[in-house]
Structure 1
Amino acid sequence: MMAAPTINTKPMLSRLTAATAACLLFTLLGKEDGIFLWSASAFVGVSSSPLFALSLRSASPSSSFHHDVRAFLAVGNNNNSIESSASTSATATTTSVSSSSNVKVDFPSSSTQTSSIISDNTPPNLQSILNSLASLKSGSDLRGSFVNHKCSGGTIANVSHLLKQNKKNGNSGSGSDSAALLTPFAAHCFGVAFARWSLQLESSLPPVAAPTVAAADGDEDEDAASLTICVGRDPRVHGERLADSFARGAESEVGVKVVYTGIATTPSMYEFVRADKCDAAVMITASHLPEEKNGLKFFSKNGGLTKHNIDELIVLAQEEAHNVYDLGILPPSSGNAGVLCSERVDYMPYYKETLRHAILREVTSSSLSSMSSTIQSNSKPLSNINIVVNPGNGAGCFFVDLLRDLGANVDGSIHLTPDGTFPTSFGVPNPEKQSMVEETMQACMACNADIGIMFDTDADRAGFILPRHVSADDGRKLDYEPLNKNRLIALLGVIFSVASPGCTIVTDSTTSEGLHSFLEEKLNLCHFRYLRGYANVIGKAKELTESGVANAEVAIETSGHCAMKENGYVDDGTYTAVKIIGLLARRSSTSGSSTLLDMISDLDEMKYVEEFRIRVTDGSSTTTSTIFGQLSQSLIDECSNNCNNDWTLDEDNLEGVRARLASTSGGFFMIRQSLHDPVISVQVEATSKEEARDKVLNPLMELLSKHRDSLDYNSLEVE
């Protein structure tokens, strides 16, 4: 590496002149013949051929983009010439270490953030950036519509203009009060934020190994890093763009190394952390949302980040945005050339192997330690099973190879190549989507499959297709039906009633009366209904188990999000598939003409099951909350005062208002406010459409009519 240049300046050189020079330098970053990384000690050119995993440390002696730019902008801040830019850069780095890495940070709450960073004095361009970063919060994740910008040479004003323009054009989060737009710059800010947050977490954990020993000559090991973050993504076409910006942001923090594993599944990212392949991980995905959406899910050694943790990240990301605003130029990124980070890795084979071991364990009902090495390496326990896998061109495509290796016939599987354009008839994969269910059923019928498996885009959810009947004459599978929602929970209940008698299954609030009776009365399990939202359900299961109140083996939503205690409460669609496949394999040689659906034949199911989404016309979350509160009180009054003899209030319900139908065993309805949208959801289960209309919908519309100017409930009227 060439020696650090000496920068001589005149005493009267203004900061404005220096800043202008910096902007001109970074305009070079947009040159077509290369991507240039600049530091105070050298100019380094990086070829514009695909970068994939070029080492940031080999490309630049500086570990932080911001440290170097601040060193350059320091020119003209005093009356003395700067003889050594390298020393200036070192000073900036030292400051960062002391302020970001080694000092305990007390994260402010979101409300504190509003008063400390966002104020009347905040410039409008910066204000829109800060608001946009906050609006990306979606429960315990970040989500928004992807909006691209220049990969280098731009300013924060350019990003602000894009946000305002897209918001004006209506490209924002569904029903959000402000634009939920995800830009590469936002990914950069959250990369910095997650690195700082993770460094703070690491400093609070007990040490697991001795610190790296310096080289004998006293020089610090350039490649030493105290924290490694793994980045993965689903196949969305803009995932790599976001991964690059996130990785660059994270590696701008001293002591942080980023490794990029490419297309992966959300549950695999936490598995990599558990296996000590990295200290933290981020998955770039928007799950089942439309292809223009994307997002980030974070994992630490403690598991997935919570809603409160996301608030902390937003504070740190806003601080980074403020810092970049002060610099005046955006940090560089690779555009479509790849991901610039310390290392390109492929951890998915490791994850695939953990699932292979899990299937062997399920099929043999033996622990790995009790299996012979021959069984572990050569067994083909699925050799008599015909399986259709439909990952919908998402990240779960690898699962078909795993099943083939274990002997399964997977020739009828469909949509097996990751493709972020999602060219299928059903678009972005979602096991709840009727068109995906129907296409998978057709594929099962075409090849006489024993089971069909569907995954969403990042494979943290699964749905299944099973035959209702098997011909006693020729073994032909007949009358395929979906195994999802209450049915899936019921079958998992069957599995755990044997494996862990009397255990607890935690579900979301929308599960049926029939499921509750099946779990508690037929299987002698404990059913605990909690709030909707997979993070809520999983969090409650962990809380019940850790406190000793219950042994919560399963946490599952009717959407298919499922986490099990034996798998560390990881929300994993592929692991759910492992459990169902294991049950099928164990029964395949003895079941004869019976099917897995026969195991839940005692589950009472209503013929009429519908969910209506009543939209608040002004799109305001405040209006939604106000109307929902008033409507809830009206329903409670109706039940409490016996105004409607058909409604009995469910006093154990923890979300919204739930009422049972007195005239029907198993019939009920419930209303709840959407977690993210200006919507009031109405779920109805009844014996028939006529009963639903007479006993629920018509009386409910009388109450809704009081808010006719604020609600769109046409779907109820049509029904």
Structure 2
Amino acid sequence: MRLFGTDGIRGEVGKYPLTVENILKLAKASSLVLKKKNSISRVVINKDTRLSNYMFEPALASGFISMGINVVLVGPLPTPALTILSKSLRADFSVMITASHNPYTDNGLKFFSSNGIKITPEEERKIEDNFFNYDFDKFKIKQANYGKAIRLKDAIGRYSEALKRSADKDLDYNNLKVVLDCANGASYKVAPEVLFEMGIDLITTGDKPNGTNINFKCGSLFPQKASKLVSKRKSDIGICLDGDGDRVIVIDEKGSVITGEELIYIITNHYLKNKKLKKGSTVVTNEIANYGLDIALKKKGIKLKRVKVGDKFILQEIQKNKYLFGGEPSGHFIFKDDILIGDGMTTAIKILSILLIEGKKLSELRKGIDLFEVLEINQRIDKEKFFQNEQSIYRKLNLLLKNQKLFFNIRPSGTEPLLRVNLQYLRRNIKLTDLKKIENKIRNTISNAC
């Protein structure tokens, strides 16, 4: 049985596996795998602003302490803060307690290595094996060897200094008007402070977390409020983060949302102009990115490499082939030489710099890419039945879709009991009535099987 999905462990609080008892057990199980020999035995625990973190943070800490590991508490801070804190604190590993963009009723765990990179699938499987099979009653440790816990007072300062290194020292950010939406999440304090210190004319929303309003009608999934503020205030840009601060959605000066693909296009164009990229170079995205991006980048002489959904796969491809950057439609971006890996605010600061260097509005910079229409079907499934009938479901859906004039991708969600079917098409190639019939057939095929 699997605990880990595409991005750590995630689920509804109070239901398996997101109970206090299981969080404690997961701390013990992960300790056996991730604790290094002859190290100082240290783990860093970060969190976002969910109410349930008042339970899960001490449960995790207790589990690690009982295994002889010292605990450093640093949250609430964005997930990418662990990139630098894990290294500077010489931690064996680190953990982020978050369900990312999900509502407060969900929570989860993301595990990172001593280098601040997500742990490997093999390490995930070992943790699962320990969780299900190891008899922790037989684990013996002297009381004098229990770990201790401290809260790092300057964690936010260390992270904010790393963020500010993303800014260009030769640029004057004082004339930029920005709307920032922190999603009532992990960035609520540090993100406004950093932009203020950069001299930006700033209005902030989603910066008053109460434990239950994280991602609620705000942030990267709900940019409407920030969009209205941008238009009303005549701002240059809107920046919308998610609950754990690792993704960003940007709004142009007209109040229109810039898609992840459009941001990839804008950044690529800028890097070509400034010779950070040359023709023939490769940019990385995921398998559900809009195919309009392929066409737009091909015209610029840039190749597009697609990988599985998940920022860890973008990172792996960049590290393996030394590509400059990559991104996902959801707003995850990774740059090869960044101190902070996959950080929403780092990406936002890069976009602010591009605005100043190019001397153009975002609405102008996004021109040149024509996106396909997208229909995203998320059908709820019974996971056990799905895995029993998985091959049959894929076969039937492939037969249904392969002769249609559209691109498609089928994948189970790694965080929710959903089967996701992504359809992309040009309006001139398919009637909307036919598309609706296809959608109904897809839903019926899935629901009849699971």
TM-score normalised by length of structure 1: 0.56
Pick closer, same or farther for the CA change 1:404–1:509 going to 2, 3 Å.
same
Q: Give 1:673's aligned residue.
A: 411
Instruction: Give secondary structure in 2 for the equivalent of 1:620.
Output: helix
2: CA distance between counterparts of 1:572 and 1:325?
41
Helix, strand or coil for the counterpart of 1:137? Answer: coil
- What is the deviation of 1:306? 2.3
Task: String of CA shifts for 1:564-617, please: whole Å, max 9, x gaps.
Answer: 111268221111112111112323xxx3xx4123123110124x3321223447
Q: Please report how far the alpha carbon of residue 701 of structure 1 lies from its aligned counterpart in structure 2 after TM superposition.
A: 5.4
Equivalent residue, structure 1, for 2:308: 531
Aligned to 2:271: 496
Q: Which amino acid aligns with 1:529?
A: R
After superposition, the Cα gap between the structure-2 partners of 1:348 and 1:291, relative to the gap in structure 1 and judged at 3 Å, is same
Cα distance in 2 for partners of 1:243, 1:390 equals 25
8 Å contact kept, 1:686–1:692:
no
Residue 9 of structure 2 corresponds to residue 142 of structure 1: yes
Deviates more, 1:612-621 or 1:303-312: 612-621
Name the amino acid aligned to 1:629: Y
Q: Which has the larger radius of gyration?
A: 1
2:81 to 268, 284, 288: 268
Change (3 A) 1:679 1:317: closer
List runs of 5+ in structure 2 lacking aligned partners: 141-146
Query: Is the aligned partner of 1:576 residue 2:347?
Result: yes
Query: Hey, what's the Cα distance between the residues in 1 that align with 2:383 and 2:86?
Result: 43
The answer for the alignment partner of 2:144 in structure 1 is: none
Listed as ranges, the matches of 1:155-554 within 5 Å are 172=15, 180-200=16-36, 202=37, 226-254=40-68, 256-276=69-89, 278-302=91-115, 303-319=117-133, 322-324=135-137, 341-361=149-169, 364=171, 381-397=172-188, 398-410=190-202, 412-422=203-213, 427=216, 429-431=218-220, 433=221, 436-467=222-253, 479-497=254-272, 498=274, 499-502=276-279, 503-522=281-300, 524-545=301-322, 552-554=323-325
Aligned match of 1:686: 425
Give the secondary-structure state (helix, strand or coil) at the position aligned to 1:387: strand
In structure 2, how many angstroms separate the alpha carbons of the residues matched to 1:287 and 1:618? 22
Residue aligning to 1:105: none
- Report the equivalent of 2:374: 609
Distance 1:494 1:670, change over 3 A: same
Letter in 2 for 1:267: P
C-alpha separation in 2, matches of 1:236 and 1:405 = 27
- Residue 600 of structure 1 is aligned with which of 357, 363, 366? 366
Q: TM-score, length-normalised on structure 2?
A: 0.87
Gaps of 5+ in 1: 1-133, 148-171, 173-179, 204-224, 328-338, 365-380, 468-478, 546-551, 648-660, 662-667, 712-719
- Please give the alpha-carbon distance, in whole angstroms, between the structure 1 residues aligned to 2:20 and 2:382: 32
Q: Identify the structure with bigger relative contact order (alpha carbons < 8 Å, sequence gap 6+).
A: 2
- Residue 695 and residue 569 in structure 1: after superposition, are their counterparts in 2 closer, same or farther (change >3 A)? farther
Distance between the aligned counterparts of 1:570 and 1:351, measured in 2?
A: 12
Counterpart in 1 of 2:391? 626
Residues 624, 678 of structure 1: 8 Å contact kept: no
Identity %: 21
* Distance change >3 Å, CA 276–CA 428, structure 1 → 2: farther
* Structure 2 equivalent of residue 559 of structure 1: 330
Q: Is the 8 A contact 2:315 2:334 kept in 1?
A: yes
Aligned-pair Cα RMSD in Å = 3.0
AA aligned to 1:282 is: V
Deviation at 1:236, TM superposition (A): 0.6
User: How many corresponding residue pairs?
Assistant: 439
